[in-house]
Amino acid sequence: MKSTDLISIHDLQRDEVLEILDLADRIKHDPRVHREALSRKTLAMIFEMPSLRTRVSFEAGMTQLGGLAICLGPPDISMGKRESVADVARTLSGMADGIMARTFSHQAIIDLARHASIPVINGLSDHLHPCQALADFLTIREVFGRCEGIKVAYVGDGNNVAHSLMYAGAKLGARVSIATPPDYAPDPTVVANARRDAGATGAIIETGHEVLAAVADADVVYTDTWASMGQEAEHEERVAVFRPYQVNAAVMARARKGAIFMHCLPAHRGEEVTDEVIESEASVVFRQAANRLHAQKAVLVILMGHRP
């Protein structure tokens, strides 16, 4: 892969995205081949917010690849307050082989990459969640055998997950249909970028506000929590606005026969999705979560494996 960081899937070429997915598939089915790929390598993990899947998948991934992950939470590091992002990046560059950061501000990720001399991985920001989208399309390809032409209907908040789904879908030739309340639409710049990327692959990027139109004939129905971390004060207001965007049995019935349900977790059952759907045979949410490990191991090997 030509890129030295993973900040946004939009930054990658189509063949680079496929390289990650192909390697993730090989690692998943024969992890022994790469068990020493990152021997004696260290990943510094910065967490500005709590994490389950991101922390465990990166930490377990480094261990399984023969390396070490160091978790740096708010008591250990406070970027932009106790220490500038630039100073953190340069300090960690002299001690570790890679940085993974899960931050509130996307600008913090950009600044880390600008000042670090080692690879930087966006573990999540308020704008993008590329690692999640890679695991999502790894799962979609496992289920359907391809990504090209697969319709992914995302229902809910036009957030970081929606943004990265559009970017990944555009690179992989999928049809991504987004349905959000009018005041919670995805960033227009992201939509425009994704549509430009789609021009090279035959992908289709659609946005709108009608749930049933988005999920009609969808192969995948996807949702996320209505109030992400940092938006807790808006929870009640958001629940009132997003109630018509709940994924329930009636919504799933409009999708294509054999459609799957996806959620990046954690799920607020009874809000964005019903128990009936998330516990149904159509649900692949825990397979999707498990694939975070394999997708991220592929990213780690590609970005850190070649470093001396």
Report the half-sphere exposure of 69 (CA within 13 A, side-chain side).
Answer: 22
Lowest average pLDDT, out of 48-52, 194-198, 263-267, 296-300, goes to: 48-52
Q: Has 71 been annotated as catalytic?
A: no
- E-strand stretches of the chain: 42-47, 68-72, 98-102, 120-124, 151-155, 175-179, 204-208, 220-223, 260-263
Predicted local distance difference test score (pLDDT) of residue 306: 60
**Whole-number Å distance between alpha carbons of 146 and 137:** 9
Q: What is the pairing mode between strands 175-179 and 151-155?
A: parallel
Average pLDDT over residues 228-245: 86
Q: pLDDT band at residue 78, thresholds of 50, 70 and 90? A: confident
CB 266 within 8 A of CB 289: no
Mean pLDDT, range 163-190, rounded to an integer: 98
User: What is residue 1's predicted lDDT score, i.e. its pLDDT?
Assistant: 66
Q: Is the pLDDT of residue 300 over 90?
A: yes
Angle (nearest 5°) at CA 95 between 94 and 97? 95
Average pLDDT, the chain: 95
Residue 229: which pLDDT band, with cuts at 50, 70 and 90?
A: low
Residue 224 annotated to the active site: yes
Alpha helices, H only, 102-159: 106-115, 130-144
Which residue of the set 264, 288, 294, 296 is catalytic?
A: 264
List, in order of start, the domains of the chain with CATH numbers: 9-129+292-304 (3.40.50.1370), 132-288 (3.40.50.1370)
pTM check: above 0.75: yes
Q: Across residues 186-198, what is the average pLDDT?
A: 98
Among residues 34, 175, 292, 294, the one annotated as catalytic is 292
Tokens representing residue 117 in the block = 């001399």
Active site residue 32: no
